[in-house]
A = this chain, B = another copy of it.
């Protein structure tokens, strides 16, 4: 089995439904992931995790040093395959265009598509993207550590691709564009409940994910380009 299949982890989790063959550390990770996805970080106590995993409470603090680092380990494990797909998509797009850089839209799509695809395919992400979005503003430098552990390499790769896709853009344009784009993406992923209040009765609050990709890419690319032409104007 590749991942846990607990897609509907209700609050009352029965003990030790996970494979007993795995080591303690992995069983903690599996239980933690399914409970985090279902109920969030704070609402998930270490006691619930260890009960579900069928291990002792103190095992968490032995294998991981704290709840925070357990969260980190869960996120890194979940993010790695997604980031691999992001890079391979970017590689493909760049190969397709030969010596010319791919369009900005393609670069952005390479980053967004793996997650949107998973959502569309009904992969058991649960509220994982929500957690990802929330981590971004979590205290304690958690995101900073996660960034170093999982995002730093692919960030440089995408930053270079965006720079080449936007001739004439200054470093500040790239920086601000990425910053605001990440915010828009995180907010899209988090799908906050307040979103429904924005929508009015005209818009579907959870539209088809595959249709969302086009809108996301259009908005972000438009924002990037507006930044660049603003810089050009002010010269």
A136 at the interface (CB under 8 A from B): yes
Q: Which residue of B lies closest to A131 (CB)?
A: B137
A218 at the interface (CB under 8 A from B): yes
A180-B187, A187-B136 known; A222 and B226 CB under 8 Å?
yes
A24 to B39, CA, bound (A): 34
Do A134 and B143 touch across chains, with their CB atoms under 8 A apart? no
Enumerate chain B residues within 8 angstroms of A40, measured Cβ to Cβ: 139
Do A192 and B222 touch across chains, with their CB atoms under 8 A apart? no
Interface string of A206-232 (1 = CB under 8 A from B): 010000001110111111111100100
Interface string of A153-194 (1 = CB under 8 A from B): 001000100000000000110011111111111111010111
A203 at the interface (CB under 8 A from B): yes
SS class of chain A's interface: helix, strand, loop or mixed?
Answer: helix
Do B218 and A226 touch across chains, with their CB atoms under 8 A apart? yes
A121 at the interface (CB under 8 A from B): no
Number of copies: 2
- Interface size classification for chain A: 35 or more
A133 at the interface (CB under 8 A from B): yes
A95 at the interface (CB under 8 A from B): no
A137-B130, A137-B134, A177-B219 known; A144 and B197 CB under 8 Å?
yes
What residues of chain A have their CB less than 8 Å away from a CB belonging to chain B?
Answer: 39-40, 42-43, 130, 133-134, 136-139, 141, 143-144, 147-148, 151-152, 155, 159, 171-172, 175-188, 190, 192-195, 197-200, 202-203, 207, 214-216, 218-227, 230
Enumerate chain B residues within 8 angstroms of A155, measured Cβ to Cβ: 197-198
Shortest CB-to-CB span from A84 to chain B, Å, is: 20
Do B175 and A180 touch across chains, with their CB atoms under 8 A apart? no
Shortest CB-to-CB span from A191 to chain B, Å, is: 9
Do A215 and B227 touch across chains, with their CB atoms under 8 A apart? yes
Among candidates B177, B194, B221, residue contacting A144 with C-beta atoms closer than 8 Å: B194
Q: Which residue of B lies closest to A212 (CB)?
A: B176
Shortest CB-to-CB span from A168 to chain B, Å, is: 15
